[in-house]
Homo-oligomer: A and B are copies of this chain.
Amino acid sequence: MSDDIVIVGAGHSKFGKRKGKGIRELAFEAVQDLMSDFNKGLDDIDASVIGIAGEEFSGQGAPAAVIVDEIGMVGKPTLRVESACATGTAGIKAAYGWIKAGFYDSVMVVGVEKMTAVSSVRATELMARAGDVRWESPFGVSFPGYYALMASAHMAEYGTTREMLSSVGVKNHFYGAKNPLAHIQKEVSLEEAMNSIPIAYPLNLYDCSLISDGAAAVVLTKESIAKEFTDTPIRIRGVGSGSDAMMMSERKSLTSLAGAQSAAQKAYKMAGITPDQVDVAEVHDCFTIAEIIATEDLGFFEPGQGGQAVLDQQTYIGGKVPVNVDGGLKSKGHPLGATGVSQAVELRKQLLGEAKKRQVDGAEIGLSHNVGQSGQFVNVLVYSR
């Protein structure tokens, strides 16, 4: 009766400042990586879902069709989904629905973004449009500002410190240095992180994720036919989504994301697991404070304890729950539309024991937490072998 949806293929481009590579070439690179370890051809995949957050970065309107053309799926039905920085997981969720609806047996999900064709100031301005352009961004706030508000509130309410924030960056760079696909493969000392230039108080440069180019791709199908595609399918065990008020000023709390909490509850319930069963987590560390709040919203730590947990290395491999051991958005990079799909690609590697220097031994359950805007779009997915 129940026919689980599974991932039967995955690919990932190098993330970084990819000069000369546009959305087409980045998507192609991810799909080529996927095909290198896939029993079937592109002709055997019925449709695609393309995740791209912002069309202004590339200047291509309705960009799904040019991607489909480039990756070699001409003539196959497609659409673009967009949920700001949660676009990638929105794509996986849409494809899941299409398969369950019986429209297709297999769907390719490609998440991609080209962000460095414009300056980083322009990129920040374009991202700021995802805030409320009537009531928020005209008054000067951009995304570092939204998360700075959350950081200040978290510090005031729980005594979270600058050292705790910087420690998230240190951890993610520690692991990013072990990921050959990461944008910045370089360790950072706590001192360096703490003394980096201020961006939006209390957030410094090393509290902010990277403006990156990149793409990631997965193929979804039904468990009943998965063996045609691969011997090692990964099951999507839980899917939960949440949202919250558009304006920060209308939120009940600035120290947690209500949408992440409800998304997590739904995903855990669907998967039939509790937070302590998660072996490895990819969370949306667009800013260091976001990772701390994520580990609390997901139930890994009590509210207010996420900062201390990273100081105590509880989110390192060997700790309570390894978090972002691919480098996260902070060090691996954050090409907006690619991020949620990249999380799936990384978790698949972990669950298959293919994560090499950053492998969490014996990982059986992986969780992905992907946030758009300042919490208006949240998708939490649970994966297992």
A positions within 8 Å CB-CB of B: 22, 24, 47, 53-56, 58-62, 64-66, 68-69, 74-84, 90, 93-94, 96-103, 126-134, 239, 241-247, 250, 258-259, 262-263, 372-373, 376-377
Contact = CB atoms under 8 A, between A and B. Distances in A.
Nearest to A263: B77
**How many copies, total?**
2
A14 B226 CA distance: 48
A22 B133 CA distance: 12
A62 B53 contact: yes
8 contacts: A60-B129, A61-B128, A62-B84, A62-B130, A75-B259, A79-B81, A79-B94, A101-B101
A245 B75 contact: yes
Nearest to A336: B62
Given A81-B79, A90-B79, A94-B79, A102 B103 contact: no
A101 to B, nearest CB: 4
Nearest to A61: B129
A133 B61 contact: yes
B90 A97 contact: no
A65 B376 contact: yes
A69 B127 CA distance: 19
Nearest to A60: B133
B377 A65 contact: yes
B75 A244 contact: yes
Contacts of A69: 245-247
A62 B372 contact: yes
A342 B103 CA distance: 23
Contact of A75 (B54, B77, B243): B243
Contact of A77 (B84, B126, B243, B250): B243
A244 B244 CA distance: 38
A64 B80 contact: no
A90 B239 CA distance: 21
A239 B245 CA distance: 33
A75 B258 contact: yes
A93 B102 CA distance: 11
A47 to B, nearest CB: 7
> Quick one: which of A78, A94, A99 has the most chain B CB within 10 A?
A94
Contacts of A54: 55, 61
Contact of A80 (B82, B242, B244, B263): B82
Contact of A81 (B53, B76, B80, B246): B80
A74 B377 contact: no
Contacts of A247: 69
A103 B133 contact: no
A372 to B, nearest CB: 6
